[in-house]
Chain A
Amino acid sequence: MIFWACGGIAVLGGVLATFMTDLRRAVLALWVCGLGVGGLYLSLGAELLAVIQWLLSTLIAIAFIFYAVMFGEFSTPEDAALGVSVTPEPEKKKEWFRPVMPLIVGSAFAGMIWLGATHLPSMAQHGILFSDPHEIIETTKTYGPQTQETEKKSEVAMGVQGLGRSLAEDHLLAVEILALLLFLVIVGSGVVARLEKPET
């Protein structure tokens, strides 16, 4: 029940974030969507990921609002120079057909994901397409994995302790690459966004 409630909140937030005309409201909807996805993680037993998702969603929403306010919604450079924020720009002609193509492509993409997931053996086997995930989680806890090898591994890899151990032992290279990537992103963004002063 909680899973579907969080799923509904996430999808509703996603719909509003996609179609809201005001960017600040769209960002708030994205925040709600992030909170909903965090709730989904929590109901799937991923507590650490849920907390990280909630924190990041909030920080991202704050950053988005900061940038949206900083840029404003200027219609012309003259308005921008005056600092006049022009809320939704009056449309010169009716563009009701503009969202049609994105909607078709988006629906095709969603359908492709859904159909692709039905062909994954584990998904189809456990009926994860429709059923509540709690049953599957409970099955995993009660009966455990099917082979002895994975059973031994699962005894170690449970909870946050197991996640930490797995990160430090099995996925150390991935963590290092991610750290390097984030470092390069910080430096590169500073270089890209610098203000170039005209040469005198």
Chain B
Amino acid sequence: MITIAALLGGLGLVCVLYRKTILGLLVGLQLLGLSASLMLVLSGVASHVPNEGHLFGLFITLSQIGQLVVGYALAVRIFYLKKRTSVEDVRSLKN
């Protein structure tokens, strides 16, 4: 069971490192979030306090929305400036 969460987490990290666009990066972050959430639910079930696991899974899932919205906003900003959404362009927002 934990294997599924571990696989999803590994795939998420691979996606974050492999993709070159911001939207691809966000896909990887979503996979990582799914893995973390699933891990918490499984831990809750294994510890015989399932509701605690569900609650923390819920918090992680809702926090992912915030992360996604910020990612979209950054992508829009970079697209205005560079007409593309490459991850490498993020550092151009520094100045």
**Contact residues of A with B, CB < 8 Å?**
3, 7, 10-11, 14-15, 17-19, 23, 26-27, 30, 33-34, 37, 40-41, 44-46, 48-49, 52-53, 56, 60, 63-64, 67-68, 71, 74, 77, 80-81, 98-99, 101-103, 105-107, 109-111, 113-114, 117, 120, 122-123, 125-126, 128-133, 136-137, 140, 145-146, 150, 154, 157-158, 162-163, 166-167, 171, 174, 178, 181-182, 185-186, 188-190, 192-193, 195-196
Contact B85 A11 (CB under 8 A): no
Contact B14 A106 (CB under 8 A): yes
Q: How many A-B residue pairs have CB under 8 A?
A: 235
Whether B87 is near chain A, meaning CB under 8 Å from some CB there, is: no
Main secondary structure, interface of A, reads helix
Bound form: Cα–Cα A103–B83 in Å: 30
Contact B54 A163 (CB under 8 A): yes
Chain A positions within 8 Å of B37 at CB level: 37, 49, 53
- Identify which of A23, A44, A130, A150 contacts B24 (C-beta below 8 A): A23
Known contacts A114-B6, A189-B73; is-contact A133 B1 (Cβ 8 Å):
yes
Chain B's nearest CB lies how many Å from the CB of A97?
12
Contact B8 A128 (CB under 8 A): no
Chain A positions within 8 Å of B49 at CB level: 145, 150, 154
Main secondary structure, interface of B, reads helix
Chain B's nearest CB lies how many Å from the CB of A100?
10
Contact A166 B13 (CB under 8 A): no
Chain B's nearest CB lies how many Å from the CB of A55?
10
Bound form: Cα–Cα A27–B48 in Å: 35
26 interchain pairs (CB within 8 A)?
A: A7-B4, A17-B31, A18-B12, A23-B24, A30-B31, A41-B57, A44-B42, A44-B50, A48-B54, A49-B61, A74-B84, A102-B16, A105-B17, A113-B39, A114-B2, A117-B39, A125-B46, A128-B2, A128-B45, A131-B1, A136-B46, A145-B48, A163-B54, A178-B59, A185-B66, A192-B77
Contact B46 A48 (CB under 8 A): no
Contact B3 A129 (CB under 8 A): yes
Produce 1/0 per residue, B57-86, CB < 8 A to A: 111011111101110111111011011110
Contact A60 B79 (CB under 8 A): no
Q: 10 closest A-B pairs (Cβ-Cβ)?
A: A110-B10, A106-B14, A189-B73, A102-B17, A80-B83, A113-B6, A185-B66, A106-B10, A193-B73, A193-B76
